[in-house]
Structure formats: structure tokens, C-alpha cells
Structure 1
């Protein structure tokens, strides 16, 4: 139940994905309620009516809070292009400085003025007291953890698994087709250079009792090196544990030999990505998939949905004896 690579809460609106995973596990009800420490105080995320009232020392109604935030927002920004512009237009300078600026700089290793506005557009702003981080129909945690799900998916007569072995492109020569979910640039031996990623380092914290009183605590201040701490026993509230295990997360640039987590996709990476997509589009008998294969940030449910769709399309093409394309979802 310890999430070795950071906390993962399953959430989706996709009926097919939900039904598919429920073949391999039982999901327990779970609501992700994130807290954040900023300026020596603890607040609720995503920003909701409690956060707004607590931060500004007020007791506003939903309509009053909406009008107040609009008065804080920079209305001169009509078409936000950067993360910072979107935040200033979205919540104004005070909430931006407290909850977004420092955290974002630590997470991405660059100024929010260099990041696209689309990153912030995913985050909700609520004028009620709903602190459920997600708003999807289905949310939960697998009762036996995610490893059991993967074991169930791979428990098939037609599937063999080789561990602790780097994939070499030459290995695909003995097969009609390869579905490749490793790094796109890695498949071509990084011939055009390395695409930029962020990776994570984890500092393990063990102790007795309760460490922080919640599953996830973000740290918005840039002066605090880590971005968040996850306390893993809170991800399985149906269990009881006298001891605790936590991991503090530190984000940094991904170097050779590191595990790539988050594709950066800034201007420089977009140009390099186009080179690799052009090369990949000319490749035969291979399809590039997943977060690494298409160099996109994907949640679990989207990854699974795309894989199921790719399987449908590939099987239909095989039946018609037609070629399978290099990409089912274009990275650009």
C-alpha cells in the first residue's frame, strides 16, 4: 500500500476504464483532500471557500467570495499565455504567491513565466466548501494496491514478462509489431538529443503514530525544498496502523539514468519532439504509446483508455491486414 513513486489516487469518468480495472481489484471509497502549508499556516486545496475565507480573514458567502476574487484578479490579462498570467487572471497576486508560485518553481525548475497557461487551467477554483480534489464520478483506492492490478492484467497465457532488462530496438525484429511505451527519444538512441523531463527524489520518513494528520501536505513556500509529503497509511483508511511511513518529494531535472516522470514540453522540447515524431512516423512495425512514448502528461485513467482504444484499433487493422500506425494519439 506504499506508493513507491508518489501518491496515486484513481479517478475517472470513463465507464469502460472503470469496468476494466474492476476485473482485477475492488476499489474502496476514497476522497483526496489535500492540504498545503504556506507562510506558516495550513490551508485546504484546491482553493475553495474555506481557503479564501481563512486566507483573507473573512466570512464571505459564495457570491461575496466570487466578487472578491474577481476584484483581486488582473482583468487586464484578456488572453493568458503563461502560467503566471493565468494565475494572476485566475486568483490575483496574493493567492498566486501563496499557493502556486513557489510550488510551481520547485516542481518545474523554472519561472512560471516560462510555463504555458494550460498547466493551471486543470486546477479548480470553488466558491463552496467542497475540498474533494477531484470531481470525477469514480474515485477510489484498490484494496490490495496497484501491484495486484498489474499482476492481474499480466496474468494471461499470451503474456510473458521479462524484468530488469533494457529494451533494445533490435529485439523487435522477431515480431510482427511492437507496441513501445518507453521514452520516444530512447527508442532512437537519443540520436537527436534528449527530451527534457523532471524526475523526483524521495526522502523516506518513518515513525510512530501520526506524522501530519492527512494523506498529502503540499508546501507552497519556495524556501522549503520539498514540494509535498505523502503519509501513506491515509491512503487506506479502512486499515489501522500504529506506525507510519511518509515520503517527502523533491523535484529536479531528469538526468541520464534517472526515472523520467514529467515531460516538460517547453519551446525547446517542442522543437526536438517534432524531430522525433517525424522520425517515428517513418518507422515500421512499431507504435509509440503512453506518457513516455508520446511525451505527454497523462493520468492513469487516460493512459488506460488510450491503451484500450489502441487495442481495438490495432485488432481491427490486423483483421483487415492493414498496417498499424506509429501513433494512435499524436504527441504534437
Structure 2
């Protein structure tokens, strides 16, 4: 079959490779001049540091098959994400852990003592938290909320935490031990040669043709037996019902000699600091040595028409509009919407790859049984 993949990020690359290995002819197009989407990495021309051009990406997963899949295309090195935050003129570890609590309150509590102490700070009058702010006040209390969540959240989302749903703060962001590993996952690491190399390797197959700087139009759909579209869902329909809401990021690059901040990521929790964090990219490759350093200050704002969409907002208005776009998409034959933009969901890399593998396998099953591939393998409304 003749298959078109719109987008050369992980979704398009993985689906394309699976179908190419099954004998199908695959074309991958991307409007950007490079593959790998927002995971794109390259050597900084001034410092030679491997840089994450669209912001830091740390690979973490409990999915053994996905971990083995990415390592097949490029070796990974051990990497533990240890995030720091500056607030009230002090530096703390994130996520909030026993060290953070003892340091912030000037105490030396054991886990059981700290748990009881934090419960005494919590607003237990909030039985059923509806908003982000209520969730934080209920589980960590006003002082930790003000220091670590309020300002950062306002900058990241562009609205007060009382306007955000409690679901954004899904799990209790407190550990009553000294574990400062940001993630819980079994497999964690960084690709030795960057993410771009992985995607290039995945796309390196005789049945795959890649065209960069190439825009897609709906008029091309009849030319192919099937299309997998990983662009913006509303963009496919030329935004005819309006635009879905996203946050975008601006990056302010600067260089220095030596070590600027002593860690890969430093958050800034106070609203008075306009940026959300600074990332120092040579710390993402601790097995390398560099005399010079490249850093990026990161600013979050509403996504405009010509901006790169990063985080789907998915608040009430967006969800109502999303339902309408999903209904339109389900009436389109021969197109499956995939990935972060195609399903308007925030997806970690490992989930993106898992869904791409499963989507490709489902397509092969549908083809074998003579069934039509659905518009969504994973519903955006789930």
C-alpha cells in the first residue's frame, strides 16, 4: 500500500518504520527543515554542547518494549533528572521531598513526623478539591503552595491556579523521603547522540522516503491508500470552527564559560521572575566535558497563529471545541489522527512511541481483515 505520514516526529517515524518493514511504501513529510519534531537536538555551533532546541526532553518509562525499541536505534546513557527550584532567595529540590520540607521549615523531621506536620498545614476543610489551588491547599497547605506552585503555575498556564482544574495536580507532589529523582520510572536515560539521531535511524529504511520543508494539503489524501496525520487537529480543518488553545514557549539563549547553575534545570517559583526555568544543556550529557556552556531561559505564553504549539490547554472551552473537531475527524475517510497535536493531548515520549507502535499494528490487522482504520486509535476525549 501507499502510505503518507504527515509529521516526522516520533509518531510519524515509528508508524512509518513499522509499515515499511511490513512491505508498504511510506512517504513522510514535514513542514520543518528537520526530523524529530519538538525532540530535535543538535550540537550548539558555539559550545559544541548537544542542545534540546525546543526545550529539555528526558526519556523515562516503565514500558520495557519501548525502552528496548529506542535503544535499538541509538544507545542511551544513564541519566537521572534532578530538578532544583529557586524561591524566596533559596534553592530547593523538586519534587517536594523530606529534604525540601526540612529545609523550608528549618526542621529535622523524620518521615512520620513530616507527614503529620504537613497534614497540620493542610486545609482539611476542603473535602473535594475542584481547582488546582484547592488541591494544593488541601494536600500541602498555604506556605508550600505559595512558594512552589502558585507563581510557577500562573506563569506556565497564564491564569490563576483557581481557574485550573484539580486534575492538573494529579498526584500528591510530596515525598516523605530523600528521593530527589524527578521520575519514578524504571527506565530513565538520555540518548548518547541526541534524539535527532534516533529518529533519523528509525526513518532509515528502503521503503521510506522523507521530504522536509514540505507542507501537506488535504487534496493529497486521495493519492494515498491511507494517511496518518500528526499535525494539529484543528489545523487539518483549516481552523474552520476556531482554534484550540495551546501554550507556547519562547527561549532566550545565552552562553558562558564554566558552569552557570550547577544543574540541568532550575525552576523559578515566583511570579516576579518572568521566566519559568533555566536549562543548562551540557548537564543533560554528563558523560561529556565542555569548557563552555549554553543555557536557555524559558518563557511561557499563549500560542499565536504563527507560534509552535507546545501544551494543549484543554480547559472547558477547549474541550467543547475539541468535541466538535473530533466529530468532523470521524467523518473523514482514509485518515488517522495521531500524536500530541493530532489528538490534542499532552504526551510523554514513551507514550507517543507506545501509541505509534500500537497504531501501526492495528492498521496492519485492519488491512489484513479488510476493515477500515478508525480516525483515532486513541480518542482525544478519553
1:301 to 332, 339, 350: 350
User: Does residue 90 of structure 1 match 2:139?
Assistant: yes
Instruction: Judge conservation of contact 1:24–1:153 (CA < 8 Å) in 2.
Output: yes
Could you give the per-residue CA deviations for residues 210-243 of structure 1, whole angstroms, max 9, x where no partner exists? 1001000000000000000000000011111100
User: Does residue 104 of structure 1 match 2:153?
Assistant: yes
| TM-score calculated relative to the size of structure 1 | 0.99
- What is the rounded CA distance, in whole Å, between the counterparts of 1:319 and 1:52 in structure 2? 57
2:69 to 16, 20, 32: 20
Deviation at 1:123, TM superposition (A): 6.0
Q: What corresponds to 1:178 in structure 2?
A: 227
User: Does residue 159 of structure 1 match 2:205?
Assistant: no
2:305 to 235, 242, 256: 256
Q: What corresponds to 1:234 in structure 2?
A: 283
Kindly report which structure 2 residues correspond to 1:142-291, keeping only aligned pairs within 5 A, or say none.
Answer: 142-291=191-340
Q: What corresponds to 2:12 in structure 1?
A: none
- What is the rounded CA distance, in whole Å, between the counterparts of 2:87 and 2:100 in structure 1? 12
- What is the rounded CA distance, in whole Å, between the counterparts of 2:51 and 2:173 in structure 1? 27
Instruction: Judge conservation of contact 2:139–2:172 (CA < 8 Å) in 1.
Output: no
Q: What corresponds to 2:20 in structure 1?
A: none
User: Does residue 130 of structure 1 match 2:179?
Assistant: yes
- What is the rounded CA distance, in whole Å, between the counterparts of 2:262 and 2:128 in structure 1? 40
Q: What corresponds to 1:40 in structure 2?
A: 89
User: Does residue 78 of structure 1 match 2:127?
Assistant: yes
- What is the rounded CA distance, in whole Å, between the counterparts of 1:82 and 1:157 in structure 2? 51
Instruction: Judge conservation of contact 1:215–1:230 (CA < 8 Å) in 2.
Output: yes
5+ unaligned residues in a row in structure 1: which ranges?
A: none
- What is the rounded CA distance, in whole Å, between the counterparts of 2:337 and 2:164 in structure 1? 26
Instruction: Judge conservation of contact 1:24–1:152 (CA < 8 Å) in 2.
Output: yes
Q: Which secondary structure does the structure 2 equivalent of 1:150 belong to? A: helix
- What is the rounded CA distance, in whole Å, between the counterparts of 1:170 and 1:85 in structure 2? 48
- What is the rounded CA distance, in whole Å, between the counterparts of 2:172 and 2:352 in structure 1? 20
| TM-score calculated relative to the size of structure 2 | 0.86
Q: Which secondary structure does the structure 1 equivalent of 2:211 belong to? A: coil
Could you give the per-residue CA deviations for residues 15-56 of structure 1, whole angstroms, max 9, x where no partner exists? 111111111111101100000000111000000000000000
Number of residue pairs the alignment of both structures matches? 332
5+ unaligned residues in a row in structure 2: which ranges?
A: 1-49
Instruction: Judge conservation of contact 1:46–1:123 (CA < 8 Å) in 2.
Output: no
Q: Structure 1 262/123 Cα, relative in aligned 2: closer, same or farther at 3 Å?
A: farther
Instruction: Judge conservation of contact 2:264–2:279 (CA < 8 Å) in 1.
Output: yes
Q: Which secondary structure does the structure 2 equivalent of 1:160 belong to? A: strand
Q: Which secondary structure does the structure 2 equivalent of 1:239 belong to? A: coil
Q: What corresponds to 1:141 in structure 2?
A: 190
Could you give the per-residue CA deviations for residues 245-288 of structure 1, whole angstroms, max 9, x where no partner exists? 00010000000111000000011101100110011111110000
Deviation at 1:173, TM superposition (A): 1.7
- What is the rounded CA distance, in whole Å, between the counterparts of 1:305 and 1:286 in structure 2? 19
Q: Which secondary structure does the structure 2 equivalent of 1:47 belong to? A: coil
2:99 to 50, 65, 84: 50
- What is the rounded CA distance, in whole Å, between the counterparts of 1:166 and 1:195 in structure 2? 20
Q: Which secondary structure does the structure 1 equivalent of 2:180 belong to? A: coil
Deviates further, 212-221 or 121-130: 121-130
Deviation at 1:297, TM superposition (A): 0.6
Could you give the per-residue CA deviations for residues 53-82 of structure 1, whole angstroms, max 9, x where no partner exists? 000011100000000011111111122121
